[in-house]
A and B are shown apart, each in its own frame.
Chain A
Amino acid sequence: MRIAARTSSAEETREVGEALASLLRPRDAVVLMGELGAGKTTFAQGVARGLGIEQQVSSPTFTLIKEYSGILDLAHVDVYRLDRMQDVVDLGLDELGAGDDVLLVEWGDTIEELLPEERLRVELLTDEAAGEHIRVISISTAGAGWVERSAELEVVMLPWAVDA
């Protein structure tokens, strides 16, 4: 399924991430797409907040992976600096935590074959004509678990929903 949301501030983008976090299960992957500055890390901060993570979430571009513990443990990954699939394999994403971390992967669309089957793809798009802080957040799902959760997903996204 595909859902679109529209936000008009960084805080609102965080709120969307926070709302989505309530539906996450262990070993889910959230793939974040969007140009530099589109708000991927901002969105990630919202997801972390929704998972009850109190630590400050910053971009893992240079550390590649940062792990946080919350209601569910979260591994925040950024593959932007990697060039080879083997580099991603070498991160051992399946083994983070007890193997049941939620994976939040910035630029993850390029490596989806190496991610768990249950995935949310979240694309953040800017709309300069509409305004500097406007973001359209396009969400699509993969995996049987998200079919089960599709109704809930629609409900939690309702406050920001626009036509996909």
Chain B
Amino acid sequence: MIVVGIDTSTPQTSVAVGTENEIIAKASVAGTARQELVTPLLQELLHRSDLTLSQIGGVAVGIGPGLFTGLRVGVATAKTLAQVANVPVVGITSLDALAYAVRYSPRRIAAVIDARRNEVFSAIYRAVPGGIVRERGYEVHAPDRLVAELQALSGEVLAVGNGAMLYRYVLEEIGSRIEFASPIAAHPEAAALVELAVSRLLREEHDRLFDVVPLYLRKSDAEIAWDRRARGV
């Protein structure tokens, strides 16, 4: 089954095309967020692989947590593609994708994405045969809250993600138990989404189109305390 993957949950824009056996084509643009490249890059990958939309069996999309604007572009693009190609869509969290890519480690894996405003999105995993299991998360909190969470757990930790890079100096408080994955693993890769999604698609465990929504985590139920707004309506 040919699956298209899209991840725009961090400033990296990543797209890939693959099957259960191989990644056929992939492209990632790092640096500043460039979501306008999602569709042209995908088109290019399909074209160079001699594929058309009609040959696609599913779409995998990173649903965050991550950058708002990126997530909205990525999820909207994925859902549109799925609808046009009349194929199922699978939403996968960016933290799962990060952890999955570094799963060949006996350590616990802390996937950490920069949430701006001096906070991080995080989840904690351990590797199991064939994949990963999430033990804690998804959370949005200050880096030192994550440190406290990790300190309460025993054993060695592998921290991965752009949030782990950014707040390395905070996470290092944990001491020698923590190791950091390379910056090349710091952003969710669409290829990892394809790999994660393809087995679910083969088992027909896809999501309903309208159920695929960004995982924002940062929620506020508060009303704005307007006491001075003299609304003319």
Contact residues of A with B, CB < 8 Å?
A: 33, 35-36, 79-80, 82-90, 92, 94-95, 98-99, 107, 110-111
A80–B223 CB distance below 8 A: no
A43 to B221, CA, bound (A): 32
Give bound CA distance, A84 to B222, whole Å: 6
For the complex, what is the distance from the CA of A86 to the CA of B33, rounded to whole Å?
A: 23
Most buried by B among A36, A80, A86, A89: A86
Q: A107 to B228, alpha carbons, bound, how many Å?
A: 9
A85 and B116 form a contact (CB under 8 A): no
The smallest beta-carbon distance between B40 and chain A, in angstroms, is 21
How many residue pairs between the two chains, A and B, have CB atoms under 8 Å in the bound complex? 53
In the bound complex, do residue B226 and residue A110 qualify as a contact, i.e. CB atoms below 8 Å apart? yes
Binding site secondary structure of chain B: loop
Bound complex: CA A99 to CA B117 (Å): 10
**When the two chains form their complex, are residues B68 and A95 in contact, meaning their CB atoms are under 8 A apart?**
yes
Q: Is B55 an interface residue (CB 8 A)?
A: no
The 7 closest A-B pairs by CB, nearest first: A92-B68, A85-B220, A94-B116, A85-B222, A86-B220, A110-B224, A92-B69
B67 touches A89 (CB 8 A): no
Q: B219 at the A/B interface (Cβ < 8 Å)?
A: yes
Nearest Cβ in chain B — how far from A67, in angstroms? 12
Across the interface, name the chain B residue whose C-beta is closest to A92: B68
The answer to whether B224 touches A88 (Cβ under 8 A) is yes
Contact A82 B68, CB 8 Å, known A89-B218, A99-B116: no
**Judging by beta carbons under 8 Å apart, are B229 and A80 in contact?**
yes
Assembly CA distance A67 to B193 (angstroms): 33
Q: Which of A35, A83, A90 touches B224 (beta carbons < 8 Å)?
A: A83
Which residues of chain B (200-232) have a CB below 8 Å from chain A?
216, 218-226, 228-230, 232
Digitize B63-102: 1 where CB-to-A-CB distance is under 8 Å, 0 elsewhere: 0000111100000000000000000000000000000000
B32 on the interface (CB 8 Å rule)?
yes
A89 and B225 CA atoms in complex are apart in Å by 15
Assess the A110–B225 pair: CB atoms within 8 A.
yes
Query: Which residues in A have their C-beta under 8 angstroms from that of B116?
Result: 94-95, 99
A sample of 22 inter-chain contacts (CB < 8 A) reads A33-B228, A35-B228, A36-B232, A79-B224, A82-B224, A83-B223, A83-B226, A84-B221, A84-B222, A84-B223, A86-B219, A86-B220, A86-B222, A88-B224, A89-B68, A90-B68, A94-B116, A95-B67, A95-B68, A95-B70, A95-B116, A110-B226
